[in-house]
Amino acid sequence: MVKKKGVSMKRLLFVLFLLLSIQSFAVPKGPCDEPMDVCCEEAVGPNAFSYQSDLGLACPKNFTASGSFLWMAFYEEGLTYAVKVNQGFSQKEKLDFNPGFRVHFGYEKEFLFEGEWTYIRFKDEDFTEPGTDGLLGSFFPPNAGSLTGASSRISGDFNTFDLNLGKRYYVSQYYISTPKFGIQAAWIDQDLHLRYFVINQKENVFCKNDYWGVGLKVGYDSEFLVGKNFSIYGNIASALLFSKFDISQQADNISIYNYQLEDSFYKVLPNAKIGIGIAYARFFEKKLTRVQLKVGYEFQEWWGMNRLRRPFDADPTGFKTVGRNSLTFNGLVASLNIDI
């Protein structure tokens, strides 16, 4: 009987020792593992105590999506289509505003993965009459003489698609830094319709300037926290793209001149983008969703985009590429961002 009691006591001690060993080596629960506290309202994550407002660092949001409305003014160099003789005045496209949009998706665990598509539809038209000494067409053979009027209409589609890899650094309680790099692809198609009036005859000149490019991109995003829910953001990015141009220029009524040109060629061209603005963010649905509204100004510069050529002789080979040829966008950007 005594022996049986000793054996039972040993078994009991062994079971207790085994349970204590398992408990000591078990992985402790994190602040987000509690089933009754999915939002971690009472938990304090790394650096969360340092900030003026809750940034969701204790229970970070992995998925993000945003939509942006763009109201951009576009301007392209080299689109002067008529010159008033002896007045030093060149008629060209105006700086006009056009709508666009941007769609952005992201996933963040340790690193930030992003995909972004930007589209801008741009168009403009203009008309001019001759001055006291006449009017010459910039995309019209000079031998055709003075014009009685000229007009220009341009339309185009601007598309970019970006894939980025970055990492967010919480540098201080006021500053968040996000360097990134990735791949950019771009498609820019432009159609230019010029009408030159010679006495009672209308001469049409049709130009196409189509472009695509793909290459490497680097960027840097920053955010300054200035209040409980407000911040100031700034971003900069630049890309170097291997590019192809398809150029076409032809006239339909100029019978005495052989005005027809088609060409395709490759280039390596840079572009840059800068943006700055203010943001307001709040949590909803018991801190399960974070919504951020951004309003800012953006500037884009695309070098070497206008590859149209001007005739300087009746000879069909007498064409010269315009000298200054950059494409510029700048204007307002309003974005709504949701983190879940």
3-class secondary structure, 311 = strand
Q: What is the pLDDT of residue 172?
A: 84
All residues at 6 or more sequence positions from 162 whose CB lies less than 8 Å from its CB, including other chains: 114, 115, 116, 117, 118, 182, 183, 184, 185, 217
Domain span including residue 304: 63-339
The pLDDT value given to residue 227: 80
Q: Give the separation between CA 45 and CA 31, rounded to whole angstroms.
A: 8
Residue 33 in any domain: the answer is no
**What's the confidence (pLDDT) of residue 23?**
54
What pLDDT score was predicted for residue 66? 95
Q: How high is the pLDDT of residue 120?
A: 96
Tell me the C-alpha to C-alpha distance, in Å, between residue 153 and each of 86, 123, 262: 25, 7, 20
Q: Convert the pLDDT of each residue in 247-280 to its tens digit.
A: 998 887 655 566 778 899 999 999 999 999 999 9
In a domain, residue 127? The reply is yes
Query: What pLDDT, on the 0 to 100 scale, is given for residue 4?
Result: 53
The answer to whether residue 26 sits within a structural domain is no
Low-confidence ranges of the chain (pLDDT < 50): 1-2, 35-43, 48-49
Instruction: Identify the CATH number of the domain in which residue 197 sits.
Output: 2.40.128.90
pLDDT in tens, 88-123: 556 565 667 899 999 999 999 889 999 999 999 998
Residue 294 placed within a domain? yes
Find out whether 322 and 310 touch, Cβ atoms under 8 Å.
yes
Q: What is the pLDDT of residue 110?
A: 86
The total number of structural domains in the chain stands at: 1
Could you tell me if residue 35 is inside a domain? no
In a domain, 22, yes or no: no
Tell me, yes or no, whether 44 lies in a domain.
Answer: no
In a domain, 331, yes or no: yes
pLDDT of 57 reads: 60
Give the pLDDT of residue 37. 47
CA 199 to chain centre: 46
